[in-house]
Amino acid sequence: MKKPMRILSGIQPSGILHIGNYFGMMRPAIALQDEGEALYFIADYHALTSLRDPIALRENSRRVALDFLACGLNPDKAALFLQSDVPQVTELAWILSTVTPVSRLELAHSYKDKVARGAAAAAGLFTYPVLMAADILIYDSDIVPVGKDQKQHIEITRDIAARINETFGSARKGPILKLPEPRIQKQTEVVPGIDGQKMSKSYGNTIDIFGDEKETRKRVMSIVTDSTLVEAPKNPDASTIMQLYGLVASKDEVQEMREQFRKGGRGYGDFKKQLFEKLWDYFAPMRKRRDEILRDKNYIDDVLERGARRANAIAHEVMKRVRAAVGL
């Protein structure tokens, strides 16, 4: 029998989840839970590269778990766990680092961007992609659903796996590590924020998935637009409002708004109100589910514990193979 495809992804608990995270990573990951064996984790080791508040880290991690479950992650199908509940990833990261060229890490955009924006050039930030490679390789992952900004990290992962296979593999025993494929959804690869740049918690331009109504409305109403007058025709292709509306409205509704843009006679404020209503309705069932989960005190801990058990069982097998191959 063919082995089911293994799907893996992670998200850092470094802040509050926004709709860029949802459409770029969470929704595709949730859809994939029906297509294979899915493993999703909360990257708390990675978050330590930017968050140095233990209480906030613990709270954010639980909150990400809650939000992921509220958005439709089904723990009977997909394992959800904390990265740090599988400490063997740090062992694998060490082994991987021994074959990773420094020059390869020096080319990573995310390190350069973060340091350019003022982050301290810590070794952990520099070797972030090696730990991420370990996260992926320790589960023999086939597919990694992520947003476009993570593509380079998956390329580095493939490169490191190939190096391990070349260095320690043999024709007789076959490869040691499996090379994963990124799964990046074209339509949602970069969700724009309220300023039109990529939505990101580090740019302060987010619309949160579970923000309160007043705040969410305020965020939507502050989407940056040009100064075209109410009566004048507007370009739907250059509009953040249209792009976000396209994520939550039906095809016909999108078509209709596009026509209204072209015709003129309606102001941006009006379009933003319409976007807000759609967005608010889109996430209504998830808000309801979230309230239900919150009523069951042990639910999140139970899910994370079950997920960690599953993840550890796989990681244990792969590490046995790696340790044997490298001589430990």
Binding-site string for ligand TRP from residue 147 to residue 186, where x marks contact by CB under 6 A and - marks none = ---x--x---------------------------------
At residue 36's C-alpha, the angle toward residues 185 and 62, to 5°, is 75
Binder to ligand ADP among 99, 179, 190, 221 (CB under 6 A)? Answer: 190
Shortest CB 19 distance to ligand ADP, Å? 8
**Burial class for 137, CB neighbours closer than 10 Å (0-12, 13-18, 19+):** buried
Binder to ligand TRP among 7, 146, 177, 207 (CB under 6 A)? Answer: 146
Q: Which stretch binds ligand ADP (CB under 6 A): 51-59, 67-75, 199-207, 209-217?
A: 199-207
Residue 39 pairs with which residues in a beta bridge?
8, 79
- Residue 131 structure tokens: 């730990």
Shortest CB 80 distance to ligand TRP, Å? 14
Binder to ligand ADP among 6, 63, 201, 258 (CB under 6 A)? Answer: 201
12 near ligand ADP (CB under 6 A): yes
11 near ligand TRP (CB under 6 A): yes
Buried b (16+ CB within 10 A) or exposed e, 292-326: eeeeeeebbeebbeebbebbeebbeebbeebeebe
24 near ligand ADP (CB under 6 A): yes
Catalytic residues: 114, 198, 201
Binder to ligand ADP among 60, 61, 200, 205 (CB under 6 A)? Answer: 200
Q: How far is CA 206 from the centre of its chain?
A: 14
Interaction residues for ligand TRP, span 70-109 (CB under 6 A) = none
Q: Which residues of this chain interact with ligand ADP, rule CB under 6 A?
A: 11-12, 20-21, 24-25, 146-147, 149-150, 188, 190-191, 198-202
